Amino acid sequence: MRPRLDPEGLFDLRYAAFLETVSHLRVRLHRYCARMTGSALDGEDVMQEALFEAYRKIELLDDTLALRPWLFRIAHNRCIDFIRGRRARQRAEAGYAGDDIVLPVEPAGQGAGRAIEQLVVHLPPKERACVLLKDVFDHSLEEIAELVGSTTGGVKSALNRGRAKLAALPAQPVAIPAHDPELARLLGRYVELFNARDWDGVRALTSADARLRVSDCYNGLLSDSPYFVEYERAELPWRMRQGAIGAEIVLVVDRLYGDVWRPAHLVRVHAAGGVIDRIADYYACPWILEMVFEDG
């Protein structure tokens, strides 16, 4: 696939130039957003929104050296909005009610960062952010305070609370909810038609106003996009199959490299009322698969 210019959508040449400028930060931004939201795919969606917000406000940034903290601050705020929107904050905070006094806890030992990344989803948003930014991304207390809208003292307290809660977490794995069988059947049919290149059949599974988001390329109506044409003329052979990330069913696009099929990227499909109303294709986001493999 190649970027398509859409005057009614989000992406254009100037945005592509902006993405090139911030390319060295994108993997770190995605990792932060993914750990804050608890999902590699949600993290990518939030990061894309944050980058577009930054693009629209780039003229407000006087000092280019401040680009990294500025982008992290925008991404952080988007993550907080996301968490509040799905009521994750209330659930997390309810699980730790009455934890008002917490003794100082030392930072995790070297090499524990990966374990911390996967556990911070159990923390309330502020503590989650402070632990991530300090113990995983190695930001200073001053940088964290500015980013989360607090003081260095407030950050220290949040770090102590967060570290103590992580240390007290039970060892048993979290139960994964069962997949939705109706969605699984619908996606099974979608995969079957997609692999057969039956684009009319695929369209019949989608609503008339189905939305498509292809990272860095397109955001708009599926009916207005060259989505199926791009797959039809892809240079490397491909196939689609069902997979899962945690509790979520996803579609995996494999590419044939020589004689070996390898996962290339993920596709997220949302359905309502038995029809597909949203598709998100992450072909341009290799860091998502890298994170999934790390966590697997």
Query: Are 72 and 208 found together in one domain?
Result: no
Query: Are 147 and 45 found together in one domain?
Result: yes
73 found inside a domain: yes
Dist CA 34 CA 48 (whole Å)? 12
**Chosen domain end from 122, 138, 168:** 168
Q: Which pLDDT value is given to residue 137?
A: 92
Dist CA 229 CA 1 (whole Å)? 9
**Chosen domain end from 100, 135, 168:** 168
1 found inside a domain: no
DSSP 282: -
Q: Which pLDDT value is given to residue 90?
A: 52
Dist CA 228 CA 279 (whole Å)? 12
3 found inside a domain: no
Query: Are 28 and 151 found together in one domain?
Result: yes
> Residue 148: which CATH number?
1.20.140.160
4 found inside a domain: no
Query: Are 19 and 162 found together in one domain?
Result: yes
Query: Are 164 and 284 found together in one domain?
Result: no
**Chosen domain end from 138, 168, 198:** 168
Query: Are 134 and 25 found together in one domain?
Result: yes
173 found inside a domain: no
Query: Are 278 and 139 found together in one domain?
Result: no
93 found inside a domain: yes
102 found inside a domain: yes
Q: Are 214 and 224 in contact (CB under 8 A)?
A: no
Relative to beta strand 248-257, strand 275-281 is: unpaired
Strand order in the sheet with 260-272: 218-221, 206-214, 275-281, 260-272, 248-257, 238-245
> Residue 226: which CATH number?
3.10.450.50
The per-residue DSSP string of 4-65 comes to ---TTSS--HHHHHHHHHTHHHHHHHHHHHHHHHT-HHHHHHHHHHHHHHHHHTGGG---GG
pTM metric for this prediction: 0.81
Beta-carbon-side half-sphere exposure of residue 230 (alpha carbons within 13 Å): 13
Dist CA 178 CA 184 (whole Å)? 11
Relative to beta strand 206-214, strand 275-281 is: parallel
The total of structural domains in the chain comes to 2
Query: Are 17 and 157 found together in one domain?
Result: yes
- All residue ranges of the chain with pLDDT < 50 are 1-9, 88-89, 92-93, 96-106, 109-112, 175
Query: Are 155 and 80 found together in one domain?
Result: yes
DSSP 104: -
Phi and psi torsions of 277, nearest 5°: -120, -10
Dist CA 170 CA 65 (whole Å)? 42
Q: Which pLDDT value is given to residue 97?
A: 40
The per-residue DSSP string of 162-229 comes to HHHHHHHS-SSPPPPPPP-HHHHHHHHHHHHHHHTT-HHHHHHTEEEEEEEEETTTEEEEGGGS-HHH
Query: Are 40 and 164 found together in one domain?
Result: yes
96 found inside a domain: yes
Q: Which pLDDT value is given to residue 144?
A: 96
Q: Are 240 and 195 in contact (CB under 8 A)?
A: yes
Query: Are 37 and 132 found together in one domain?
Result: yes
- Using alpha carbons, select from 246, 235, 253, 263 the residue that is nearest to residue 190: 253
Dist CA 214 CA 281 (whole Å)? 5
Dist CA 116 CA 169 (whole Å)? 11
Phi and psi torsions of 203, nearest 5°: -60, -35
Q: Which pLDDT value is given to residue 110?
A: 44
Query: Are 243 and 162 found together in one domain?
Result: no
Supply the range of the domain harboring residue 215: 181-295
- Using alpha carbons, select from 255, 277, 281, 254 the residue that is nearest to residue 267: 281
Q: Which pLDDT value is given to residue 178?
A: 55
Give me 85's structure tokens.
């929107």
